[in-house]
Structure 1
Amino acid sequence: MLRYPRNLRGIELQLLVTVLLFFAAGYMLVVSVTRTQEFIPTVRGVVDILWPSVLPFLLFLGISVGMSLRTPKADQLLLPLVALLAGMGLMITARLEPSLAAVDSVAYTGVDAKQSLWVTIGVVVLSIILFVPWDQLFRQYFRTSLMDWLDHHRYAWLTIGIGLIVATFAFGSDPNGSGVRAWFNLGLFSFQPSELLKIILVIFLASYLNEHREVVSQGYQLGPLTLPPLPYLMPLVGMWGMAMGLIIFQRDLGAALLLFSVFLAMLYVATSNGWYVLAGLSAFGVGSYV
């Protein structure tokens, strides 16, 4: 094991470097197999192919060094996991680009580079969130901390989330011709509101469950399951209904499963009650089948 200065996040750096090396090797393999006409087996050719896509991983390394200065005791696994998932997504996109471009050259030519750009933008936004002193700014201008401000407006976030889902029913587009109208076409680019909904859902549930943790954990017995009082049960049932709405009206099983899984994970963290997870997955399975 390498030895690092006391505050340097050594485990995180090692994992990030490992992810970077595996991504570089995998990406080069994909490009050499699927786009042989673009692959030039020279140092310059390798750099030209890797440079756009490897940039976010270099930024991840920079974030790790910055966190060593600001939050050296923070978890050292989350950032490498994010980098790993991002790398897998980029490799899959690079693998599929030739096939997609053959179907629709206008929509999918260069989709690999576009995906790399969005990942890079995401990492830059992550850096801003991590290193800007948001609490100080909110205390200065709003007389409250960022967490308290988010907590105070939790139902506004819930309203925005529901509004996004309703808006996709009315204004959603289907650029892939798959029958799933889950995108907003903004001209220069399209995006899925469900991506933003994940963040909104986490904010709302964290606030709601933090305030009502004890009430949700207690209530009346229904077999082995402890159900909270009805007023506190309705938001939980509403989450199941939201997931079912995505499946029924948009036929988007992936987004519904992801959002519902986030909900169940946070519910389990708040209550430590595994029966909630089991009951939720069962209800989701039954609803999806029906």
Structure 2
Amino acid sequence: MKATQVRAWSRCGFVLLIALWAGCAGPQRQPRLVAVLTDYGQTDFYAGVLEGVMYRTFPQVRISTITHEVEPFNAAEGSYVLEQAAPAYPPGTVFVCIVDPGVGTQRRPVILETEEKKFFVGPDNGLLTGVLSSGKPVAAYEIFGAVPSAPGWSSTFHGRDIFGPVAAQLASGKAPSELGTPIEWSSLIRLDIPEPVVEGNVLTGAIRHVDRYGNLISNISAALADRAGLRLGRQVSVRIGDQTVSARVTSTYGDVPQGDWVVLKNAEGAVEVARNMADAAQTVQARAGAVLVIGP
């Protein structure tokens, strides 16, 4: 056999051995994805530090940003945004959730686990209300004390010192029981969000979220709106706080002239109050949590 043939067979044998080893080893498990939701905004360094400490804790971590633009301190709005975004992520995702006006106080840092093996890391201040209601929780843990992460320790930046490192460790495959003490998931704090009601043809609910366009997204479901007779083309009055506007029930924003008010059922199946190509929230100085009344 010629030398060139020997070398060729040697290379083939080496490749075959590698292939056999890879097959025996089986498919490599990808690190869990970490989805991030905060009220940090984008103008400061906080969001970058949070991501940086996760990469340092577990360099193979994969990070997806839901938003850093939750209204500052508004756990109710953060809860709504998290509840809407979480179902889009695959089972096994770790969510690091930080809207934490009580940082450094006695509020508990926790991990919530759901039936889909999704893990929610954050403060026990009501931020997880939506997930508790719709995410099928199965277990919860109070995170152990200080987690070694950045040099030093702060009572005002638990995103860096607790939540980020814990999320990264969960992404690496650690079990939540290695990072916290089991607690009853039913003991986690829930926000007191009034349930929407219909009385005759009057709907009363609350604004859950103000999006970047100034649209007012309520907790009134499309089914409840149907019960109140909120039909396309109908003209209704909308009271937000001490201000009342006239709006038309439409299927989309462009069904009215620019600047006019609309009431519609949005993509998430909720009633939304908006102005076509204008900022409804700014016009009536509305924010998440405000009472919303829609009637004749």
| TM above 0.5 | no
Name the structure where strand makes up a greater proportion of residues: 2
Larger Rg: 2
Greater RCO (CA < 8 Å, at least 6 residues apart): 2
Name the structure where helix makes up a greater proportion of residues: 1
TM-score bracket for this pair, using the shorter chain length: under 0.3
TM-score (norm 2): 0.27
